[in-house]
Structure 1
Amino acid sequence: MTDNHIIEKELSYRIMAAAFAVHNKLGPGYPEKVYDEAMDRELPLHGVTVESQKKITLMYDGKPLSEFVLDKVVDGRVILELKAVSKILPIYQQQALSYLKATGLQLAIVINFGASRVQSSRVVYTKGKAFVPKTFPELREPPVTLD
């Protein structure tokens, strides 16, 4: 995956700049809700719009099946899944992938504020394929397929 093929590259950098600002101001150790509220304040300072706790309904045969609540949707294009845990686990990436499938969006970023440094994982879903590079700064490495 080259720099030219990074989905929502500029928006991703703005999102991560906001996450770093929040983590630099607060540090680790707070509940997820604190970081969620801080990101609501910080993201607009980076020139993006944010919808918090967005509800989506999964449909099955034209009927509602289940409802999800997304932590954040940025500029209507990127799902943010926020965590305050010791490390990002594959289950969080799988959760983000299910949100992408349900919404038709292509990119979710799982951001963890619970460690000594911000951790992030991009989850990409395009054309029926899912990719999860190791971490945000290592986007130049080949992706790992979840299938």
Structure 2
Amino acid sequence: MEITQKFINELTYKITGACIEVHKIAGAGLFENFYHECLKKEFEIISIKYKSELSIPFDYKGKMIDCKVKCDFLIEDLIVLEIKSVADINNVHRAQTMNYMNLLKVPKSILVNFNVNNIYHEGHETFVSKYFSNLNKT
């Protein structure tokens, strides 16, 4: 199967739907690790392949550095999902999510804050990398 922008966008929709489902059942205001565990179960239910708390390698001048950096989820080896449960998403969270996406060389990342009333309207942001632009649209 060819990976296209359309496929990535459809997968993004499914991931966001999974986050909304978890939020609908659990509500806002719980700790991040609670949502993380619920998302693992939800991804299994809807048959989305993921890696959880994936260590991100970093090549510094030709030497691999173990920086103990982990993204919350790498979905289908294509999309980084970073989850939060905070009062407000700020630029540090956005930078973290985009850096994970670029270090892993994947086309897209999603930042979700579970500490909101409505994830769809106020609790998620998506970012694309240069790898997304290089994909066919359909």
Q: TM-score, normalised by structure 2?
A: 0.83
- Tell me how far 1:7 sits from its aligned partner: 7.1
Count of aligned residue pairs for this structure pair: 125
State the secondary structure of the residue aligned to 1:87: coil
CA contact 1:108–1:123 (8 Å) conserved in 2: yes
5+ residue gaps in structure 1? 130-147
| Larger RCO (CA under 8 A, 6+ residues apart) | 2
Residue equivalent to 1:117: 118
Higher strand share: 1
Percent same amino acid among aligned pairs?
24
Residue equivalent to 2:109: 108
CA contact 1:49–1:75 (8 Å) conserved in 2: yes
Residue equivalent to 2:12: 12
Q: Structure 1 segments of 4 or more deviating over 4 A?
A: 4-7
Q: Distance in 2 between matches of 1:112 and 1:6?
A: 25
Q: 1:38 to 1:71 in 2, by over 3 A?
A: same
Q: Distance in 1 between matches of 2:104 and 2:20?
A: 27
Residue equivalent to 2:41: 41
User: Residue 25 of structure 1 aligns to which amino acid in structure 2?
Assistant: I
Higher helix share: 2
